[in-house]
């Protein structure tokens, strides 16, 4: 049976109906349990291992949208846009500039591959909507595969011209093997690259992406280094496929500081294009990722290094911050368990500033003897050697917790120009029907 430790709302993964849901503790594991009158009971693992679920809690006051675009009618997650009941401002607005892709990955949030993309006037409208709703938040250009657009540099420049100071590219990196192309993106003002990077073993790419891609990923990193564009390595973590190789990615990142600014892990979520209906063995939770990183690093990373977020819901992510010294990571953040309450608006501001400051490159010159002329110069050198390890556990129709969804700070711009929390936008049911995308299998 287990012990009920919380009550929330979720949805039926077949009909999308909003359901009452319970958080159930069984031994040390936490499950979300719900029952649809038509389609039956569903139970899914949401937390395994330590830190414990309760110790990871972090209270946060709400920061409601200043300019909501939709009215509340059916309730979350059916009124997203944002509605006035959403509890967090936009930190990152994600604009999908194409549905085209040059891969056919086994797992794909966007179920990409469709031959469609908005024209640049439509993208200008998306920028305008984001600015109206959220001001100068961070922009991520995504897809599909954004580099398939011939005018990507124009889109980047347009965003800066309209007042957005940080624009990041979300890409598989295949086209970044062309240095002249990377130069063009740099000239347009590209600040950072969110690079799909699933491991240091080509067998991983063959399984997840359908072909061996490691040499293309490394070539992309080398070209981004040449152009002083900051890189975040982004790993989709799939149990039994690449969860053994997590620290190897971190180690590669450390070797390429200050150009690689960190590694971001995304425990696999089951929406968009997926191989099959997930079972608990197909999932990996945030504490499992933390513990695997610690074990694989032979103690160089400690579980106490990790913090819950101050912006999104505590159970959505973790982060740890370091300074690299002699190829070793010195932690500059401690365990966040039992943290004081965070104000939502302040958490949003800190999150946006963190990304702008630390996911770009700020190189510092020093004397030949390694000494620095001033404290400010030393501080800049510390920022240069900054490195982050983070993770974001996106939710799907089986494990959706609407309390978490209402705290989301990553919002996708819909075709109508509304801002929809990432997990809501990508929700698909058991048959591949989308709640918002309108893309069916």
Q: Tell me, yes or no, whether 36 and 120 share the same domain.
A: no
410 domain residue, yes or no: yes
Q: Tell me, yes or no, whether 282 and 341 share the same domain.
A: yes
Q: Tell me, yes or no, whether 36 and 69 share the same domain.
A: no
Mean pLDDT of 334-340: 51
Pick the last residue of a domain from 39, 55, 71: 55
Q: Tell me, yes or no, whether 14 and 151 share the same domain.
A: no
Percent of the chain with pLDDT over 90: 78
Q: How far apart are CA 30 and CA 33, in angstroms?
A: 10
What pLDDT does residue 335 have?
Answer: 47
Q: Tell me, yes or no, whether 323 and 189 share the same domain.
A: yes
186 domain residue, yes or no: yes
Lowest mean pLDDT among 144-148, 266-270, 343-347, 364-368: 364-368
Percent helix, percent strand, percent coil in the chain, to nearest 5: 30, 25, 45
Average pLDDT of the chain is 92
What pLDDT does residue 363 have?
Answer: 64
Q: Tell me, yes or no, whether 63 and 51 share the same domain.
A: no
Pick the last residue of a domain from 35, 55, 75: 55
Mean pLDDT of 179-189: 98
> Would you call 299 exposed, middle or buried from its count of C-beta atoms within 10 A (0-12, 13-18, 19+)?
exposed
Mean pLDDT of 327-343: 69
**Closest to 95 measured CA to CA, from 140, 32, 30, 147:** 140
Q: Tell me, yes or no, whether 352 and 230 share the same domain.
A: yes
What pLDDT does residue 263 have?
Answer: 98
Is the model's pLDDT at 441 over the cut of 50? no
* Token reading at 320: 């740890």
- Pairing between β-strand 230-237 and β-strand 192-196 as defined by DSSP bridges: parallel
Cross-strand partners of 43:
33
Q: How many domains does the chain have?
A: 2
Q: Tell me, yes or no, whether 49 and 118 share the same domain.
A: no
What pLDDT does residue 58 have?
Answer: 86
Cβ–Cβ < 8 Å for 24, 2? yes
Sheet bearing 192-196, strands edge to edge? 328-331, 317-325, 386-392, 260-267, 230-237, 192-196, 167-171, 138-142, 92-96, 410-413, 419-421
Q: Tell me, yes or no, whether 76 and 49 share the same domain.
A: no
Q: Tell me, yes or no, whether 114 and 43 share the same domain.
A: no
126 domain residue, yes or no: yes
261 domain residue, yes or no: yes
400-418 residue pLDDT tens: 999 999 999 999 999 999 9
Lowest mean pLDDT among 28-37, 56-65, 93-102: 56-65
- Give the range of the structural domain holding residue 44, as residue numbers without chain letter: 3-55
Handedness of CA 56, 60, 62, 66 (dihedral sign): negative
The conformation of residue 238, written as its DSSP 8-state character, comes to -
Domain harbouring 344, CATH code? 3.20.20.70
433 domain residue, yes or no: no
436 domain residue, yes or no: no
168 domain residue, yes or no: yes
pTM of the model: 0.94
Q: Tell me, yes or no, whether 75 and 41 share the same domain.
A: no
What is the crossing angle of helices 152-161 and 179-188, to 10°?
20
The conformation of residue 189, written as its DSSP 8-state character, comes to T
382 domain residue, yes or no: yes
Which residues have C-beta within 8 Å of that of residue 157, sequence separation ≥ 6?
188, 189
């Amino acid at each position: 049976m287990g012990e009920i430790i919380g009550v929330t709302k979720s949805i039926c993964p077949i009909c999308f109906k909003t359901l009452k849901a319970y958080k159930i503790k069984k031994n040390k594991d936490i499950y979300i349990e719900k029952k649809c009158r038509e389609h039956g009971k569903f139970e899914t693992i949401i937390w395994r291992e330590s830190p414990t679920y309760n110790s990871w809690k972090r209270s946060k006051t709400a920061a409601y949208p200043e300019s909501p675009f939709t009215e509340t009618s059916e309730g979350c997650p059916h009124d997203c846009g944002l509605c006035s009941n959403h509890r967090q401002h936009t930190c990152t607005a994600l604009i999908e500039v194409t549905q085209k892709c040059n891969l056919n990955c086994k797992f794909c949030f966007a179920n990409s591959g469709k031959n469609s993309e908005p024209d640049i006037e439509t993208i200008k409208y998306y920028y305008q909507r984001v600015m109206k709703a959220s001001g100068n938040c961070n922009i991520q250009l995504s897809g599909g595969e954004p580099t398939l657009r011939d005018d990507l540099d124009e889109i980047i420049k347009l965003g800066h011209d309209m007042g957005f100071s940080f624009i990041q590219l979300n890409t598989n990196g295949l086209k970044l093997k062309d240095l002249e192309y990377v130069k063009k993106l740099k000239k347009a003002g590209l600040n950072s690259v969110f690079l799909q990077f699933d491991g240091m073993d080509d067998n991983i790419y063959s399984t997840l992406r359908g072909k061996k891609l490691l040499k293309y990923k490394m070539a992309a990193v080398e070209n981004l280094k040449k152009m002083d564009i900051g890189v975040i390595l982004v790993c989709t973590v799939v149990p039994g496929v690449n969860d053994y190789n997590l620290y190897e990615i971190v180690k590669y990142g450390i070797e390429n500081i200050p150009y690689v600014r960190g590694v971001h892990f995304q425990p696999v979520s089951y929406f968009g294009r997926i191989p099959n209906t997930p079972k608990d063995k197909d999932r990996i939770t945030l504490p499992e990722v933390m513990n695997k990183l610690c074990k694989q690093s032979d103690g160089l990373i400690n579980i106490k290094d990790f913090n819950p977020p101050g912006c999104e819901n505590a159970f959505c992510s973790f982060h740890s911050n370091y300074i690299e010294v002699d190829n070793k990571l010195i932690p500059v953040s401690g365990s966040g368990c039992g943290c004081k309450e965070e104000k939502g608006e302040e958490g949003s501001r800190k999150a946006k500033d963190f990304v702008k400051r630390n996911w770009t490159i700020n190189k510092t010159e020093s004397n030949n003897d390694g000494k620095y002329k001033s404290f400010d110069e030393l501080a800049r050198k510390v920022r240069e050697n900054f490195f982050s390890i983070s993770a974001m556990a996106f939710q799907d129709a089986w494990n959706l917790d609407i309390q978490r969804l209402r705290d989301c700070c990553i919002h996708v711009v819909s075709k109508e120009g509304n801002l929809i929390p990432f997990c809501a936008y990508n929700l698909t049911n058991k048959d591949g029907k989308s709640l918002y995308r309108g893309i069916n299998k």
